[in-house]
Amino acid sequence: MKSQEMIQGVYVHTPFCLQKCLYCDFPSYAGCSADVRERYVRALCREIRQGRADGWYGALPVAPDATIYFGGGTPTVLTTDQLGRVVAALREAGWWNRPAEATVEANPGTVDASSLRALRELGFTRVSLGVQSLQDRELRAIGRIHTAAEAKEAVALAKAAGFERVSIDLMYGLPGQTLDSYGKTLEEAAALGLRHVSAYSLILEEGTPLERLVASGRVTLPDEDTVYAMYEATDRFWTARGLRRYEISNYAAPGQESRHNQVYWRYEPYAAFGAAACGFDGRRRRTNPAGVADYLAAVEAGLPAGAGPRTPGTPAVGAGNIPAGGAAAAAQGSPWWDEEDLDVATRLEEALFMGLRMVQGVSLEELGTRFGVDIRSLYKEEMANLIHRGMLYLDGDRMALTPYGMRYGNEAFEAFIRLWD
């Protein structure tokens, strides 16, 4: 059976954080009570159990080695017991078999030796730590709850707990960050002996507190030349230390690449559970309600989450301090609740712009067969133009961005998107 005819990954979302970071526009909420978190876990388990039966992913078998990814928010805001119940539900319902990789995201400020050991015992094989920077001043400037020392300690504790695969996230272009301070962060990160690092350029997202701070002039970001120097430095630094770039913002020692994230970039089917979670069956994509209250209401009403649109503005169940993200999400233009039936052209375009994020690019043969088109002739002009400009190259069956092409990746991605008006 072809890889795109099976669920290759399972994502579970935890929309809670102890504190919201200033740059974050993800569906995650700070300040929820223990009671809400418990209700959320119950709803999540229920959605997971119904998930195999509700028919949405029904036709697709779960690959035996389908990856698991617990993301957020901060999954480790949940107790070990709660996480254990979610894992148990996944196992019972057949989502979690012999995963090639089971990752849990963690905030260095929310883990200790025993919680990490417990996660390992639950079956997680990989930890992804949101470190962002190893300079305390920079961490404070973006509203992180942990210090650089705690971050380093978390890496050590994760290793000690038996995690062979520990990854950290880093960010560059942060308020107050300089090329020097970023260089220090890289050096100190390298000293942790990591074999996987994600390094993201800070994106000033609309509606975030950081955006307002920058707009009002109270916070200054490094200039574009500096950010570009950091982008270059990242690549040089990790390459020199044996971590190869395998995606625009991801570096890994050979064999240490994130299996789960490659499911996305290869445009393979994945299941997703929890508020705001977004699943893909290879043809359709559906997104759960982003607000905790809306999500709870949907699941507690016995509906399989994602079973159908709710009217925006429907009173949230059990008001209290449960965030109803729906209205806010709708106001931001993100879907309140969405199911997209993707036509072939759209899927092909998405498969291309996701696939070209990877250094190895895409297989023209494989994508061509999958979507029943001849990519070389369909995109003849676009490909010739990008190749001529040194942004794209063909290597036998593979089409990939050059390092220069990655730098201006959006231009290349856009070339493969057709505008229909």
Binding site for other proteins (CB under 8 A): 9, 11, 13, 198, 200-203, 224-225, 227-228, 231, 248-249, 261, 263-264, 270, 272, 276-280, 285, 287, 334-335, 338, 340, 349-350, 353-354, 357, 406-411, 413-414, 417, 419, 421
Tokens of 42: 């119950």
Looking at the Cβ atoms of 343 and 414, the one nearer to other proteins is: 414
* Least gap, CB of 319 to other proteins (angstroms): 27
* Least gap, CB of 320 to other proteins (angstroms): 26
Tokens of 410: 């959006």
- What single string gives the DSSP state of each residue in 108-161? GGG--HHHHHHHHHHT--EEEEEEE-S-HHHHHHTT-SS-HHHHHHHHHHHHHT
* Least gap, CB of 336 to other proteins (angstroms): 13
Looking at the Cβ atoms of 161 and 173, the one nearer to other proteins is: 173
Looking at the Cβ atoms of 120 and 265, the one nearer to other proteins is: 265
φ, ψ (nearest 5 deg) of residue 399: -120, 130
* Least gap, CB of 47 to other proteins (angstroms): 16
- How many other C-beta atoms lie within 10 A of the C-beta of residue 89? 22
* Least gap, CB of 13 to other proteins (angstroms): 8
Residue 172: strand pairing partners: 201
d(CA 15, CA 322): 11
* Least gap, CB of 393 to other proteins (angstroms): 17
Looking at the Cβ atoms of 135 and 258, the one nearer to other proteins is: 258
Looking at the Cβ atoms of 354 and 400, the one nearer to other proteins is: 354
Tokens of 421: 């008006």
- List Cβ neighbours of 127 (8 Å cut-off, separation of 6 or more): 103, 104, 105, 106, 116, 119, 158, 163, 165, 166, 167
* Least gap, CB of 54 to other proteins (angstroms): 19
Looking at the Cβ atoms of 163 and 264, the one nearer to other proteins is: 264
d(CA 324, CA 319): 8
- What single string gives the DSSP state of each residue in 147-170? -HHHHHHHHHHHHHTT-SEEEEEE
* Least gap, CB of 408 to other proteins (angstroms): 5
Looking at the Cβ atoms of 116 and 288, the one nearer to other proteins is: 288
Residue where the block lists tokens 């919201």: 20
Looking at the Cβ atoms of 79 and 334, the one nearer to other proteins is: 334
H/E stretch holding 399: strand 398-401
Looking at the Cβ atoms of 180 and 225, the one nearer to other proteins is: 225
* Least gap, CB of 278 to other proteins (angstroms): 4
* Extended beta strands in 224-374, E state: 244-247, 250-252, 270-273, 278-280, 284-287, 338-341, 362-363
- What single string gives the DSSP state of each residue in 358-389? BTT-EEHHHHHHHHTS-HHHHTHHHHHHHHHT
* Least gap, CB of 162 to other proteins (angstroms): 26
In terms of DSSP H, where are the helices of 272-324?
Answer: 292-300
Looking at the Cβ atoms of 118 and 383, the one nearer to other proteins is: 383
- List Cβ neighbours of 128 (8 Å cut-off, separation of 6 or more): 103, 104, 105, 106, 167, 168, 169, 198, 258
